[in-house]
């Protein structure tokens, strides 16, 4: 692989002689003391971005050419940790979006501008694993750079992880979180309870609501099947079904989405399961 451009010590643009394609490569010291036209040390390659995805390539090259390389390096380490912790692949766009976010976060910190995360509590509850990554990230950054990022920043980083995991835009991820929060509040107020957030049934409910919210945002409606089970559920889990109907009414009044009977059925089952678990405590 022949170097076409050196962005910094850790990011270069190369041409692969075998495929004749351009690649953006990242790796610790991959561009250090190198010159255009030289071969790359392939043992130092940590990540490849194929330039067939022109939009991603433009974003990556723009970000790495504008931010300090230590920020891109920190961002890459956070992403690596997130992949390992979540046992999940993340959309490559996070390398651009998270690096860009951290760059502005450092600038805000230098200027003593603190932005509060209004959805911090919901992010903690709804995206627990991603928030754990966010907490690890700010501890890592604070220790490495001797700074003091607030806990709000962990929430912002968590949402970038959510975006990359669900392959949504930032606005869509925040809207998804808001919708899940609204539904959880309806359930809480209806039953006058607080959720047991360490309960597996609560996790399953939240996961179900995330995918429901995702369909809602995408307007990907589930088609009803001929399912007689809903008639049984209406009777057997009357209170949970009534609560689900309140959720349905709220969604249809506020989000221009028709909740199908199948969705109502599964929501009822999840609500009944989580409430039953709470009552056992």
The predicted pLDDT at position 277 comes to 81
Q: How far apart are CA 135 and CA 128, in angstroms?
A: 10
Instruction: Kindly state whether residue 258 falls inside one of the protein's structural domains.
Output: yes
The predicted pLDDT at position 58 comes to 72
CA proximity to 60, closest of 102, 104, 26 = 26
The predicted pLDDT at position 81 comes to 96
The answer on 130 and 80 residing in a single domain is: yes
Instruction: Kindly state whether residue 176 falls inside one of the protein's structural domains.
Output: no
The predicted pLDDT at position 246 comes to 96
The predicted pLDDT at position 45 comes to 79
The answer on 163 and 73 residing in a single domain is: yes
The predicted pLDDT at position 44 comes to 84
The predicted pLDDT at position 222 comes to 65
The answer on 121 and 206 residing in a single domain is: no
Average pLDDT over residues 184-211: 86
The answer on 109 and 90 residing in a single domain is: yes
Average pLDDT over residues 29-35: 83
- Is pLDDT of 138 > 90? yes
The answer on 252 and 199 residing in a single domain is: yes
- Is pLDDT of 54 > 70? no
The answer on 162 and 77 residing in a single domain is: yes
For the stretch 217-246, pLDDT in tens is 888 766 666 567 778 888 889 999 999 999
Q: Enumerate the β-bridge partners of residue 23.
A: 14, 50
The answer on 162 and 74 residing in a single domain is: yes
pLDDT above 70 covers a percentage of the chain that reads: 92
Q: How far apart are CA 105 and CA 108, in angstroms?
A: 5
The predicted pLDDT at position 126 comes to 84
The predicted pLDDT at position 108 comes to 86
The answer on 254 and 220 residing in a single domain is: yes
Confidence tier at 280 by pLDDT (50, 70, 90)? low
- Is pLDDT of 74 > 70? yes
Instruction: Kindly state whether residue 158 falls inside one of the protein's structural domains.
Output: yes
The answer on 77 and 35 residing in a single domain is: no
- Domain boundary (45, 65, 85) is at 65
> What is the CATH classification number for the domain harbouring 73?
1.10.1790.10
Length of the chain: 281
Average pLDDT over residues 261-270: 88
Domain interval for residue 126:
69-167
Per the prediction, the chain carries an average pLDDT of 84
- Domain boundary (35, 65, 95) is at 65
Please give the backbone phi and psi of residue 168, each rounded to the nearest 5 degrees, phi first: -115, 170
Q: How many domains does the chain divide into?
A: 3
Long-range contacts of 199-207 (CB under 8 A, 24+ apart): 199/274, 199/277, 199/278, 201/270, 201/273, 201/274, 201/276, 201/277, 202/274, 202/277, 203/128, 204/270, 204/273, 204/274, 205/270, 205/271, 205/273, 205/274, 206/125, 206/126, 206/180
The answer on 77 and 36 residing in a single domain is: no
Instruction: Kindly state whether residue 172 falls inside one of the protein's structural domains.
Output: no
Beta strands (DSSP E) in the chain are 2-8, 11-16, 21-26, 47-50
**Which pTM was predicted?**
0.65
- Domain boundary (43, 65, 87) is at 65
For the stretch 76-88, pLDDT in tens is 899 999 999 999 8
Please give the backbone phi and psi of residue 11, each rounded to the nearest 5 degrees, phi first: -140, 130
Instruction: Kindly state whether residue 238 falls inside one of the protein's structural domains.
Output: yes
Q: How far apart are CA 280 and CA 47, in angstroms?
A: 49
Other residues' Cβ atoms within 10 Å of the Cβ of residue 224? 13
- Is pLDDT of 187 > 60? yes
> What is the CATH classification number for the domain harbouring 42?
2.30.24.10
The predicted pLDDT at position 104 comes to 87
């Amino acid at each position: 692989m022949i170097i076409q451009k050196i962005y910094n010590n850790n990011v270069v643009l190369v041409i692969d002689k075998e495929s004749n394609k351009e690649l953006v490569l990242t790796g610790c010291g991959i561009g250090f003391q190198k010159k255009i036209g030289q071969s790359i040390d392939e043992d130092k390659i940590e990540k490849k971005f194929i330039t067939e995805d022109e939009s991603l390539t433009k974003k990556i090259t723009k970000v790495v050419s504008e931010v300090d390389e230590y920020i891109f390096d920190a961002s890459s380490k956070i992403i690596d940790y997130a992949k390992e912790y979540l046992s999940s692949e993340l959309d490559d766009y996070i390398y651009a979006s998270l690096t860009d976010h951290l760059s502005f976060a450092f600038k805000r910190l230098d200027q003593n501008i603190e932005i509060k995360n209004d959805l911090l509590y919901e992010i903690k509850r709804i995206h627990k694993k991603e928030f754990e990554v966010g907490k690890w990230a700010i501890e890592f950054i604070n220790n490495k750079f001797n700074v003091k990022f607030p806990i709000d920043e962990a929430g912002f980083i968590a949402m970038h992880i959510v975006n990359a995991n669900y392959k949504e835009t930032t606005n869509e991820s925040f809207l998804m979180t808001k919708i899940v929060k609204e539904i959880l509040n309806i359930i809480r107020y209806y039953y006058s309870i607080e959720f047991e957030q360490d309960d597996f049934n609560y996790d399953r409910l939240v996961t179900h609501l995330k995918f429901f919210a995702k369909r809602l945002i995408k307007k990907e409606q589930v088609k009803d099947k001929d399912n007689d089970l809903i008639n049984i559920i209406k009777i057997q889990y009357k209170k949970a079904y009534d609560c689900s109907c309140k959720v349905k009414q709220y969604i249809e009044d506020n989000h221009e989405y028709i909740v199908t009977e199948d969705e109502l059925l599964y929501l009822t089952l999840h609500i009944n399961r989580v409430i039953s678990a709470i009552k056992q405590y």
